[in-house]
Structure 1
Amino acid sequence: MGLKVTLLTATAVGFACAAQAEDLTIATVNNGDMIRMQKLAEDFSAKHPDINVEWVTLEENILRERVTTDIATKGGQYDVLTIGTYEVPIWAKQEWLVPLDGMPEDYAADDLLPAVRSALSVDDKLYAAPFYAESAMIMYRTDLAEAAGIKISEAPTWTEIMAAAKAMTDKSKEQYGMCLRGKPGWGENMAFLTAMANSYGARWFDMDWKPQFDSPEWKAALTDYLTMMTEYGPPGASSNGFNENLSLFQQGKCGMWIDATVAASFVTDPASSTVADKVGFAKFPNKEGVDNHGNWLWAWSLAIPASSDAPDAAKTFIAWATSKGYTDLVASKDGWRAAPPGTRTSLYANADYQAAAPFAAMTLTAIESANTQKSSVQDIPYTGGQFVAIPEFQGIGTAVGQQFSAALAGQMSADDALAAAQANTTREMTRAGYIK
């Protein structure tokens, strides 16, 4: 019997392999860059015919739930996991992940962007390799802005953005001024709303770990979010996550979309975006008087669970998928604009990439300016940008996300949603022993 390696993704894709080959099961998310990786995995199979790759591709919330359950129970279903900057340090400290020692000499770990490498390391040891990394920014329709007689500045305020959203909205044409995440989940609507709250001067917890949803900053942020989405957003927004909003923007239905920088290559892709040549970029907004533009840092990364019985084969796949060679492969197939962003210094020094990717400089600036050690202008006892880096945040963040999504769906008021978030989070943090 050969070794078994499982990679988790949202679609089942199999590759023929030689007899007695090792089986790798890879779990991943159904985002565009991961779908491309599966298509290009024939290159890996040709180079490693002794390793058979099997894919499990899942929607973001489902991926997180299944991967977390499997690794916590030592289920061993998967050999390669797609996880992020939230999970890696927590799981590494619990000895749930295999350290990525002994990567091939040409892997060039020193080429990884320092902020990204640091986020995926514990005690200077890398526990996951970044497939792509991101911050957040505004993507907007330059033609609609011009037609409305408005100009989006490079570093706009929320007041400016809300006025622009109003001016761009024409619901009779299915033209919505603003598209934002509404689907509940700690990594879905709460990723955006936490970043937005940070930019309003809010924080999740004070220095005694007491929740702060009863603060004026949180009320202002949630109220403005609901105003934008109910008055200038698309119908059914409480069901829209990253992929749904990407589709809306590509179809020309969004005047602005504030989300992950990784989306830039897809909204500017002429093959899939009807507005590819009409997209501008700007910094994540801030509230007037608050020196904070969103502080978002995320890396979808590949890691090996300690329960895998094929760690060496898994490491071989990870080295292929996150290497400079893979970036060159993507560029040769789909052009430099499609290269996985945000992981390597060399990519941003590449003149071909800079010429093909008008969003490159804005993406790098956003990533390098993210302050995950202090994501709020107020004093905080936690780290993390669009999340709180404690194990309990998955459950707490998802519960709060459900309250805020219900408010967006019109099932409760902003005040009621904030009160419920305050009560629920206080109860859970008390149970967990943070609040004495």
Structure 2
Amino acid sequence: MHRHVRPALAAATATALAVGVGGCAGWGGGPSGGGPDTINVLMVNNPQMVDLQQLTAEHFTAETGITVNYTVLPENDVRDKISQEFSSQAGQYDVATLSNFEIPIYARSEWIAPLDEYVAADAEFDQDDVLGPLTASLSGDDGRLYGEPFYGESSFLMYREDVLDAAGVEMPANPTWQEVADIAAEVDGIEPGMAGICLRGQPGWGQVFAPLTTVVNTFGGTWFTEDWEPQVDSEEFRTAVQFYVDLVREHGEVGAPQAGFTECLNNVVQGNAAMWYDATSAAGSLEAADSPVKGKMGYVAAPVVETDSSGWLYAWSWSIQQASAKKDAAWEFISWASSAEYEQLVGEELGWSKVPAGKRASTYDNPDYLAEASAFAEPTLAAIEAADPNDAGVQPRPAPGIQFIGIPEFPDLATQVSQDVSSAIAGRTTVDEALQRGQQLAEDVAERYRERESK
């Protein structure tokens, strides 16, 4: 059993800077109170976090004496609440789930506490076991670590091996996007109601532009150059978006303009799509015991054009609010929730398909996990290890990120552009018109950054 020993960091944490911003935590109510051995955790309501709630009292609290009060909300709501809470440094919540998009931004604003001294004092945590790209993406501009992953993912191409075999089609281990488009055309309609491929078309920076930005990257495009010149209407960006729109319109799923992750997952499970490019975390659902396509799927690297790899990188992770008065106890919780020991606990208590994987190298050496995840474990690990948030395309970028640009303005910018791209998929506008408007929006963002850097 993993032993948790609180690092003596009182002196270090006493100097924590509480950033004061106008407003309050909002949303009313707030978490339950408690003494020094009670912490408040604000987190997204994903299934893996629900499992965590189920296991906390009997295992973490019983071992450490630390009670955990959870506040659990849907993704959009939790992002809003965390933003309000951490920007005001209200201190109601000690720990929150943040992704590798928010963590560098929050670190820059000094809303979250660095974790390096905790990691150094906790010999059993083993930071070296955490996959390198995740550690890099959860670090700040100052090189310090600000988050620990609960689970991570990249992206890859999922396909029906039996369908391609029946068509006499061989899937390359490292396909290009043109090869994928050719295969989609060949297997489209091979079974009644089966599309050649499923691709997200639903508006949203985290919906259509999650996969689409990786396509832009590998086609040689970028949202901004290193010097903040917007490139949304550049030839490379336009070629990538036109390719994506044409592919999903010609060989994609029914209802593509409204299709996100969940809709594509359902399409593949129900036999309505032969291929799907999306998150590596989807494989667990495809290979679940009750999945009709279990054992029928193949998994290969994200398709490329000009780059060697193109898979994205995402991790729901734990961070400590800078204003927390209980940082030592908060670290004990994070150390447990992000540990290899916790993964073992989930596997033994709830089943290995529920392990929050994608973050530790040791997971992919665990025979119990591999027995359940043999079909997709190796390509998942390869995809995550190949992901480089600091070098996502063919040119330098002004901020880190693969399927996003790590600036606060990106969600609003990409969501607005995505609405026009989704309209192009629906045939209500053209790609050129969509990206002309997108260029104007990107110019507004870029101008603010150029002004800041010129001062």
Same structural fold, with TM-score higher than 0.5 when normalized by the shorter chain: yes
Contact 1:181–1:245 under 8 Å retained in 2: yes
Can you list the C-alpha shifts for 1:181-230, whole angstroms capped at 9, x where unaligned?
22333233222111111111111122431111222221221112112222
CA distance in 2, matches of 1:50, 1:335: 26
Can you list the C-alpha shifts for 1:380-412, whole angstroms capped at 9, x where unaligned?
443321121233323322222233223223332
| Paired AA for residue 316 in structure 1 | E
CA distance in 2, matches of 1:171, 1:147: 9
What are the residue-to-residue correspondences of 1:21-36 with 2, within 5 Å?
Answer: 22=38, 24-30=40-46, 32-36=47-51
Contact 1:238–1:409 under 8 Å retained in 2: yes
2:106 to 78, 91, 112: 91
Deviation at 1:55, TM superposition (A): 3.1
Judged with a 3 Å threshold, the aligned counterparts in structure 2 of structure 1 residues 19 and 65 are, in CA distance, closer, same or farther, namely closer
Deviation at 1:248, TM superposition (A): 2.9
Deviation at 1:309, TM superposition (A): 4.8
What are the residue-to-residue correspondences of 1:143-182 with 2, within 5 Å?
Answer: 143-170=162-189, 173-182=192-201
2:248 to 225, 229, 236: 229
What are the residue-to-residue correspondences of 1:28-427 with 2, within 5 Å?
Answer: 28-30=44-46, 32-42=47-57, 43-47=59-63, 50-59=66-75, 61-76=76-91, 78-100=93-115, 101-102=117-118, 104-122=122-140, 123-170=142-189, 173-271=192-290, 273-287=291-305, 290-357=306-373, 358-427=375-444
Deviation at 1:421, TM superposition (A): 0.6
CA distance in 2, matches of 1:349, 1:109: 16
| Paired AA for residue 41 in structure 2 | T
Which consecutive unaligned segments of at least 5 residues does structure 2 have? 1-30
CA distance in 2, matches of 1:238, 1:38: 35
Judged with a 3 Å threshold, the aligned counterparts in structure 2 of structure 1 residues 329 and 141 are, in CA distance, closer, same or farther, namely same
Query: Does the residue aligned with 1:125 lie in a helix, a strand or coil?
Result: coil
Can you list the C-alpha shifts for 1:222-273, whole angstroms capped at 9, x where unaligned?
11211222232233333333233223323332211111112222211123x2
Query: Does the residue aligned with 2:217 lie in a helix, a strand or coil?
Result: helix
Judged with a 3 Å threshold, the aligned counterparts in structure 2 of structure 1 residues 35 and 183 are, in CA distance, closer, same or farther, namely farther
Deviation at 1:163, TM superposition (A): 2.0
CA distance in 1, matches of 2:70, 2:344: 24
Deviation at 1:124, TM superposition (A): 4.5
Judged with a 3 Å threshold, the aligned counterparts in structure 2 of structure 1 residues 37 and 246 are, in CA distance, closer, same or farther, namely farther
CA distance in 1, matches of 2:296, 2:216: 29
Which consecutive unaligned segments of at least 5 residues does structure 1 have? 1-13
Deviation at 1:373, TM superposition (A): 1.9
| Paired AA for residue 395 in structure 1 | D
Contact 2:37–2:329 under 8 Å retained in 1: no
CA distance in 1, matches of 2:279, 2:106: 24
CA distance in 1, matches of 2:411, 2:107: 16
Query: Does the residue aligned with 2:274 lie in a helix, a strand or coil?
Result: strand
CA distance in 2, matches of 1:371, 1:19: 42
| Paired AA for residue 181 in structure 2 | M
Per mean C-alpha deviation after superposition, the further-off stretch among 182-191 and 146-155 is: 182-191
Aligned residues: 417
Contact 2:200–2:208 under 8 Å retained in 1: yes
| Paired AA for residue 26 in structure 1 | L
CA distance in 2, matches of 1:310, 1:283: 42
Query: Does the residue aligned with 1:390 lie in a helix, a strand or coil?
Result: coil
Deviation at 1:139, TM superposition (A): 0.9
CA distance in 2, matches of 1:390, 1:160: 33
Query: Does the residue aligned with 1:205 lie in a helix, a strand or coil?
Result: coil
Judged with a 3 Å threshold, the aligned counterparts in structure 2 of structure 1 residues 345 and 164 are, in CA distance, closer, same or farther, namely same
Deviation at 1:354, TM superposition (A): 3.4
Query: Does the residue aligned with 1:69 lie in a helix, a strand or coil?
Result: helix
| Paired AA for residue 413 in structure 1 | T
| Paired AA for residue 347 in structure 2 | A
| Paired AA for residue 322 in structure 2 | A
TM-score, structure 1 normalization: 0.86
CA distance in 2, matches of 1:249, 1:391: 34
CA distance in 2, matches of 1:82, 1:173: 42
TM-score, structure 2 normalization: 0.83
| Paired AA for residue 53 in structure 1 | N
Query: Does the residue aligned with 2:277 lie in a helix, a strand or coil?
Result: strand
| Paired AA for residue 82 in structure 2 | V
Aligned residues: CA RMSD: 2.8
Judged with a 3 Å threshold, the aligned counterparts in structure 2 of structure 1 residues 400 and 72 are, in CA distance, closer, same or farther, namely farther
